[in-house]
Amino acid sequence: MAADSLTPTGRVVLGMLALGSNTGYDIKQMVDKATRHFWAVSYGQLYPELRRLEQHGLIRGRPEPTGGRSRKVYELTDAGTRALRAWLGANEEPLYEVRDEGLLKLFFSEAQPEVRIEILRAIHERMERKLAQLEALGTPTKSGPGMTLSLGIAITKAYLKWCDEAARHLVKE
Amino acid sequence: MAADSLTPTGRVVLGMLALGSNTGYDIKQMVDKATRHFWAVSYGQLYPELRRLEQHGLIRGRPEPTGGRSRKVYELTDAGTRALRAWLGANEEPLYEVRDEGLLKLFFSEAQPEVRIEILRAIHERMERKLAQLEALGTPTKSGPGMTLSLGIAITKAYLKWCDEAARHLVKE
DNA sequence: AGGTGCATGTAACAGGTTACATGATTAA
DNA sequence: TTAATCATGTAACCTGTTACATGCACCT
């Protein structure tokens, strides 16, 4: 399996294993703790992907039950390490996608000022919640894992600031 | 078809028709011009959805060819208008999703400083390009369609600022 | 005559979510 | 004993992209 046929979730798996995750559950925990605000993964995608990657020889798994509880520990193979490096080193334009239903509503609600204010309030609330979640995750730093966190926080704050301005403007009208 | 079984793309269609779009092509143009930075739609989704919405009675289309060129003009039905309003007025938590491959790479490249700088550069470039695109779209305003644009620009700038700080920090190391 | 824009559409594929199903271990 | 956490997995469904196919109209 070449690096370019690595699925998005496959990349996350390789990356997390490289950073020290062991099991599928473990990877999911890491994702939820560290990357979920810019890259989410669900179990329904994760477990099939683990099997797929193993079939393709990028990872290797061995059963390591905890008592009677089934548990499978994975590690990168050499091919897997190469595939990960190849992806990290490839300088294609990285994917960047946003889907923001709140903005979409705002965009379509032009003719209804009452609804508009309500929508803006909902967006604001959502972002407040997001900010709280991010801040609960740990300390933003200038390097290491806290680095991406600091971006998330910066962006959320910029978003909130925009909300405030927009709300002020709407009320004035 | 109840408002809650409206698909994401279906919502966009209703919204765009309400704002004055006529044909599928037209809707796609509007999306690309106005919402694509927070909500994209492809033809492959759009045309089947138009048919689906018509079948469910939310929109009504009539052929209106331009000379020999086939063309179908759609408009909202009453049910469609209601469905749109229902969605706009529903105060469920609006969906907000980001997928940022650049950040993901950055997150996984912790052990490789050389690659890291390169990745950060790629992210920066991407955001510069995005900013240029957004600025080419029109004038950001405090209300109307330019409102969402101003948010896009604000967020992209916050992102770029973070990039600069991160780069400065990486170089220092 | 040729390129750009208007206009519609489909088939194959990719990627992902949700809900469900199951069961052991551990801390309160 | 019971709730939370560890742990794995599947099936049905949904949503979306990409690549392809087609053809007219208008401007130069």
Q: What's the rounded Cα separation, in Å, for the pair B46 and B13?
A: 8
Identify from B4, B95, B108 which residue to disrupt to test chain A contact, counting A C-beta atoms within 10 A and taking the largest count.
B108
pLDDT score, position A144: 83
pLDDT score, position A69: 94
pLDDT in tens, A48-62: 999 999 999 999 999
Q: What is the DSSP letter of A159?
A: H
pLDDT score, position A86: 96
Torsion sign over Cα B124, B125, B131, B135? positive
pLDDT score, position B111: 87
* pLDDT-based confidence at residue A41 (cuts at 50, 70, 90): very high
How confident is the prediction for chain A on average, in pLDDT? 94
pLDDT in tens, A106-122: 999 998 989 999 999 99
Cα–chain center distance at A15: 13
pLDDT score, position A65: 95
Query: What is the assigned CATH class of domain A3-89?
Result: mainly alpha
Q: Above pLDDT 90, what percent of chain A?
A: 88
Interchain CB distance below 8 Å, A108 and B150 = no
pLDDT at A22 over 80: yes
* pLDDT-based confidence at residue A4 (cuts at 50, 70, 90): low
pLDDT at A3 over 60: no
Phi, psi (deg, nearest 5) at residue A76: -70, 140
Q: What is the 3-state secondary structure of chain B? A: CCHHHCCHHHHHHHHHHHCCCCCHHHHHHHHHHHHCCCCCCCHHHHHHHHHHHHHCCCEEEEECCECCECCEEEEECHHHHHHHHHHHHCCCCCCEEEEEHHHHHHHHCCCCHHHHHHHHHHHHHHHHHHHHHHHHHCCCCCCCCHHHHHHHHHHHHHHHHHHHHHHHHHHHC
pLDDT score, position A1: 45
pLDDT along chain B (173 residues), means of 10: 78 98 97 97 98 97 94 98 96 95 97 93 96 93 90 98 95 77
pLDDT in tens, A119-165: 999 999 999 999 999 999 989 998 888 899 999 999 999 999 999 99
Q: Above pLDDT 70, what percent of chain A?
A: 97
* Bases of chain D with protein Cβ within 7 A: 6-12, 14-20, 23-26
Distance from CA of B70 to the nearest CA of A (A): 28
Residue A23 CB closer than 7 angstroms to strand C? no
pLDDT score, position A39: 98
Q: Which two tokens stand for residue B36?
A: 């694509």
pLDDT at A2 over 80: no
pLDDT score, position A116: 95
- Please give the torsion angle defined by the CA atoms of residues A143, A149, A155 and A161, in that order, rounded to the nearest 10 degrees: -110
Query: Amino acid letter at A3?
Result: A
Residue in chain A closest to B144 (alpha carbons) equals A110
- Please give the torsion angle defined by the CA atoms of residues A12, A14, A19 and A20, in that order, rounded to the nearest 10 degrees: 120
Q: What are the sequence ranges of the domains in chain A?
A: 3-89, 101-172
Q: What is the DSSP letter of B4?
A: G
Interchain CB distance below 8 Å, B91 and A122 = yes
pLDDT in tens, A67-100: 999 999 999 999 999 999 999 999 899 999 999 9
Identify the three-state secondary structure at position A97.
Answer: strand
pLDDT score, position A143: 84
pLDDT score, position B1: 45
pLDDT score, position B5: 79
Bridge partner residues of A76 (DSSP)? A59
pLDDT in tens, B125-160: 999 999 999 999 989 998 888 899 999 999 999 999
B89 within 8 A of B72, measured Cβ to Cβ: no
Residue in chain B closest to A166 (alpha carbons) equals B142
pLDDT score, position B172: 78
Q: pTM of the entire structure?
A: 0.95
